[in-house]
Amino acid sequence: MDKSFPLAETQVTAPAIVHARFAVGDVVRHRLFDFRGVVFDIDPVFANSEEWYQAIPEDVRPRKDQPFYHLLAENSDSSYIAYVSQQNLLADDEAEPVDHPAIRGLFDGFRDGRYQLRREHRH
């Protein structure tokens, strides 16, 4: 008795592997808006609410399939937390510290253009 089975024709596409361009402690600048910040966490892909995502104007809305960075951010008016896609970040060439009140709680110092994570926050 022949027990042959037809081969499955289903094709599965794996998501692209995207590597984070920046690391915790790096100082970055937004590509479109006038602010800079220090990376304190990284999501490998978008991990915020759909409501937050839809609030971004469609013509500048980033893709979800890329790293997103949590930043202790500053502009000329204030300090705040920002959530920014990799495509919208550039390395900051100023080599100057970021002025954000939460930096001292997470980082131990600013050396060679980047922040050093406090020992108690390292895994």
**pLDDT of amino acid 39:** 98
DSSP class per residue in 49-77: -HHHHHTS-GGGPPPSSS-EEEEEEE-SS
Domains of the chain, by residue range, sit at: 27-121
Find the mean pLDDT for residues 67-92.
Answer: 97
Which residue type does 85 have? S
Q: Give dist(CA 78, CA 12) in Å, integer.
A: 47
Contact 67, 21 (CB under 8 A): yes
pLDDT bracket for residue 33 (50, 70, 90): very high
pLDDT at position 41 is: 97
Contact 72, 37 (CB under 8 A): yes
pTM given for the model: 0.83
Stretch 26-47: mean pLDDT, rounded? 97
Distance of CA 25 to the CA centre of its chain: 12
Report the pLDDT value the prediction gives residue 17, as an integer from 0 to 100. Answer: 67
Per-residue pLDDT tens digits for 1-18 = 555 555 556 666 656 667
71: nearest Cα among 103, 48, 93, 47: 103
Token pair of 11 as six digits: 């094709």
Q: With beta carbons less than 8 A apart as the criterion, state whether 37 and 71 touch.
A: yes
User: What average pLDDT does range 86-90 have in this prediction?
Assistant: 98
